[in-house]
Structure 1
């Protein structure tokens, strides 16, 4: 025989009924609740008991009091919060960061306030970043607003020693993301640990996010690690429970596959960005290769001819390569130029995807293209004094033909390998065509 529980007080039963009507949609967002007097009459009780029941729902964050107008169901339009989006690739020059882009696509008015400080970390942040007692952090404090309402806070902490004098130190939005900046600094995050705690907000959090009574928060702490296990970023997100839907997506790991397609006429800037990104990385390492503006007219011609290609990860360009059948007369002899060959130009890979043999995969793809077109060779010319690049091509099956001294040209180290020869390293590249 079932044992009935303790009888609930009348004010609790009032709250139960109103809560059920809110949950099933009878009372929708913004709907006005019955007055205190109407509730008291319906339940044959006092107005004080009715107020007690209403206060339960106020404390749960389901309704708001707007005296003297009455009580109203709180309007909720939750933000979809996707922690797994942390490492998704972004364009090098996006118009807006991920949050602003997402909200704009949903037709909502979004903004954010950013402050940057150098400070002594809290004990939790110090533990997450494994810092010494005297080490400082740079913290980027951000409050995100949707339709004028503060929706969440996002405080990112970085060891000062890693990011000093970088963009991370400036109180400006980093549209391409701080993760890309970290990768450019040599501290790419390859994994993260997520911790989520549900609790009531602290007074500081409630004030910062303008929270009403009874609004719980989810605190999401994400700590990012490099390949060697070093923690380089600890982010504390405070998400009010009435404004967020946390969505996790899980899938079985797949063999990495990227797409490669011809660049279109509107993507000149994308190719230029990839060039400049690679040139900046070379400059930071004391290499003078590509330290001049990209030849945009030539790139336009390559795009128009279908010779300039983009590699994409989830539709975000991460690398570029150009292949054509034109031998450079400054480098290749007339006899060599008469031989059937494809020539590689402007191969550039984003630094945040470096170390994954994407360059090798693009060279293998170009080699297959050469074979399919009936060519004998895949050829390229490299910067004469970039010994590291020479070793790179040699290790990928290319033979050094000779080094040519041509007036006004810094390139001239000539390499070739047989068309169709592949090394089999790196991700698979699947060719996709431009939309008609």
Structure 2
């Protein structure tokens, strides 16, 4: 460690090593600030910064009045991205097939395209789109936030019309020929932390998905999932 590095990083690196190699297993208690100052010969400020850094990395969680503990490791749920594309709610059907009880709510409203959506849907920035926001829950726990955008001409107007997007487009004479997904990880926005009940340090998986009919994009979505709960599974025919 270079002498110019903050002293608290020495504490962070040692505790991180113990967590990753199993010396400190999930659920075990992290030494208190007073114990850290004595063990590592650092000040209380450095000990406090170290605990904050470990929490920000998602390695430990704080419990009021009890201290800090090594975070339990979640078993990642597989999401099969292409298996249920012809169903009304592919995400829900996928989890239900794995024995989860899934519920969701949604709300639709008109929204201006703006520069980003205009690029993604190849419409004017001033165009009005239908924006639909979904919140999915599994066994009562929030699991996914999805926001879908589509031109007004394709938007569903009744609950009956809120069926598979592929089927709904076909009813308009539009055949979906391709679904493109672009995935990246990022730090969550505050609203996502609250809606998805994310622990400190957890990043999200952001899926930008677009349905294409030939060379025309007819719907695009932003899908946000907790990065510590899911893994994406893709099937690529050869």
The TM-score range, normalised by the shorter chain, is 0.7 to 0.9
RMSD: 2.8
Task: Answer yes or no: is the 8 Å Cα contact 2:161–2:168 preserved in 1.
Answer: no
Q: Which has the larger radius of gyration?
A: 1
Question: Deviations for 1:340-390, whole angstroms, at most 9, x for unmatched residues?
Answer: xxxxxxxxxxxxxxxxxxxxxxxxxxxxxxxxxxxxxxxxxxxxxxxxxxx
Report the Cα distance in structure 2 between the residues aligned to 1:31 and 1:102, rounded to whole angstroms: 34
- Per the alignment, residue 237 of structure 1 pairs with 223
In the superposition, relative to structure 1, how do residues 83 and 202 fare at CA in structure 2: closer, same or farther (>3 Å)? Answer: same
In the superposition, relative to structure 1, how do residues 72 and 132 fare at CA in structure 2: closer, same or farther (>3 Å)? Answer: same
Quick check: 1:79 aligned with 2:66?
A: no
The alignment of Structure 1 onto Structure 2 pairs a total of residues equal to: 236
Name the TM-score, length of structure 1 as normaliser: 0.48
Structure 1 position 231, deviation (Å): 0.8
Tell me the SS of whatever aligns to 2:143: strand
In the superposition, relative to structure 1, how do residues 186 and 73 fare at CA in structure 2: closer, same or farther (>3 Å)? Answer: farther
Report the Cα distance in structure 2 between the residues aligned to 1:120 and 1:168, rounded to whole angstroms: 26
Tell me the SS of whatever aligns to 1:242: coil
Report the Cα distance in structure 1 between the residues aligned to 2:233 and 2:35, rounded to whole angstroms: 40
Structure 1 position 16, deviation (Å): 1.8
In the superposition, relative to structure 1, how do residues 32 and 113 fare at CA in structure 2: closer, same or farther (>3 Å)? Answer: farther
Match of 1:43 among 37, 40, 45: 40
- Per the alignment, residue 50 of structure 2 pairs with 53
Structure 1 position 51, deviation (Å): 1.9
In the superposition, relative to structure 1, how do residues 152 and 55 fare at CA in structure 2: closer, same or farther (>3 Å)? Answer: same
Tell me the SS of whatever aligns to 1:127: helix
- Per the alignment, residue 218 of structure 1 pairs with 205
- Per the alignment, residue 179 of structure 1 pairs with 166
Task: Answer yes or no: is the 8 Å Cα contact 1:138–1:169 preserved in 2.
Answer: no
Question: Deviations for 1:105-144, whole angstroms, at most 9, x for unmatched residues?
Answer: 4444433222222222343122211123443222221112
Question: Deviations for 1:84-116, whole angstroms, at most 9, x for unmatched residues?
Answer: 4463x45xxxxx943334334444443322222
Report the Cα distance in structure 2 between the residues aligned to 1:38 and 1:109, rounded to whole angstroms: 44
In the superposition, relative to structure 1, how do residues 31 and 55 fare at CA in structure 2: closer, same or farther (>3 Å)? Answer: same
The list of structure 1 runs, each at least 4 consecutive aligned residues, that deviate by more than 6 angstroms after superposition, is: none
Report the Cα distance in structure 2 between the residues aligned to 1:157 and 1:77, rounded to whole angstroms: 32
Tell me the SS of whatever aligns to 2:9: helix
Question: Deviations for 1:171-212, whole angstroms, at most 9, x for unmatched residues?
Answer: xxx4xx322222233222111232223322233333333334
Report the Cα distance in structure 1 between the residues aligned to 2:60 and 2:196, rounded to whole angstroms: 18
- Per the alignment, residue 2 of structure 2 pairs with 6
In the superposition, relative to structure 1, how do residues 169 and 26 fare at CA in structure 2: closer, same or farther (>3 Å)? Answer: farther
In the superposition, relative to structure 1, how do residues 247 and 51 fare at CA in structure 2: closer, same or farther (>3 Å)? Answer: farther
In the superposition, relative to structure 1, how do residues 159 and 241 fare at CA in structure 2: closer, same or farther (>3 Å)? Answer: same
Structure 1 position 147, deviation (Å): 4.1
Report the Cα distance in structure 2 between the residues aligned to 1:152 and 1:136, rounded to whole angstroms: 25
Report the Cα distance in structure 2 between the residues aligned to 1:169 and 1:187, rounded to whole angstroms: 15
Structure 1 position 20, deviation (Å): 2.5
Report the Cα distance in structure 2 between the residues aligned to 1:21 and 1:148, rounded to whole angstroms: 34
Report the Cα distance in structure 1 between the residues aligned to 2:148 and 2:71, rounded to whole angstroms: 31
Aligned pairs for 1:135-174 (under 5 A) are 135-165=127-157, 167=159, 174=163
Quick check: 1:125 aligned with 2:117?
A: yes
Task: Answer yes or no: is the 8 Å Cα contact 2:129–2:149 preserved in 1.
Answer: yes
Report the Cα distance in structure 2 between the residues aligned to 1:68 and 1:189, rounded to whole angstroms: 55
Task: Answer yes or no: is the 8 Å Cα contact 1:158–1:234 preserved in 2.
Answer: yes
In the superposition, relative to structure 1, how do residues 11 and 162 fare at CA in structure 2: closer, same or farther (>3 Å)? Answer: same
Structure 1 position 236, deviation (Å): 0.5
| Structure 1 gaps, min length 5 | 91-95, 253-436
Report the Cα distance in structure 2 between the residues aligned to 1:25 and 1:111, rounded to whole angstroms: 37
Tell me the SS of whatever aligns to 1:201: coil
Aligned pairs for 1:33-432 (under 5 A) are 33-75=30-72, 76-85=74-83, 87=85, 89-90=86-87, 97-165=89-157, 167=159, 174=163, 177-227=164-214, 229-252=215-238
Name the TM-score, length of structure 2 as normaliser: 0.82
**More relative contact order in 1 or in 2 (CA 8 Å, sep 6+)?**
2
Tell me the SS of whatever aligns to 1:68: coil
